[in-house]
Amino acid sequence: MVFQNIAKMLKDIINGYLYNVGDLLPSEVELAQRFNVSRNTLRKALNLLESEGVIERKHGSGTYVKKKIFVAHVHHMNSFSEIAYNSGKEVVSQIMKFELQVASGRIAKELNMEQSESVYYIKRLRVIDNKPAQLEETWLSVSRFPQLTISHMRNSKFTYIEKECNIKIIGTFETFSPVFPTAEIASILHTSTKDPILRIQTQAVDENYQPIDYSILHSNIFEFQVKYFLPRQKACQDLK
**Widest Cα–Cα separation across the chain:** 69
Query: What does CATH list as the number for 70-228?
Result: 3.40.1410.10
Q: Quick one: residue 112, left, alpha or beta (phi over 0 = left, psi -120 to 50 = alpha)?
A: left
Q: Given this model, what pLDDT does residue 168 score?
A: 94
Does residue 197 contact residue 220 with C-beta atoms inside 8 Å? yes
Average the pLDDT over each of 16-25, 67-76, 103-112, 200-209 and give the range with the smallest value. Answer: 67-76
Does residue 162 contact residue 168 with C-beta atoms inside 8 Å? yes
What is d(CA 230, CA 180) in angstroms, rounded to the nearest whole number?
27
**DSSP character at residue 75:** S
Q: Which H/E stretch holds residue 239? A: helix 236-239
- Report residue 62: phi and psi, to 5°: 135, -165
What is d(CA 65, CA 20) in angstroms, rounded to the nearest whole number?
7
Query: What does CATH list as the number for 2-65?
Result: 1.10.10.10
The percent of residues in the chain predicted with pLDDT above 90, rounded, is 58
**DSSP character at residue 163:** I
Q: Given this model, what pLDDT does residue 80 score?
A: 65
Mean pLDDT of 181-185: 96
Indicate the domain borders of the chain: 2-65, 70-228
Q: Strands, E, within 61-145: which ranges?
A: 62-65, 70-74, 91-102, 118-128, 131-141
The percent of residues in the chain predicted with pLDDT above 70, rounded, is 82
Q: Given this model, what pLDDT does residue 233 score?
A: 57
Mean per-residue pLDDT over the chain, rounded: 86
Strands 224-228, 70-74: pairing kind: parallel
Q: Given this model, what pLDDT does residue 237 score?
A: 47
Please indicate whether residue 73 or residue 159 has the higher confidence score (pLDDT).
159
Question: pLDDT per residue over 114-145, tens digit each?
Answer: 998 999 999 999 998 788 989 999 999 999 99
Question: pLDDT per residue over 57-96, tens digit each?
Answer: 998 899 999 887 665 555 455 666 666 666 666 778 999 9
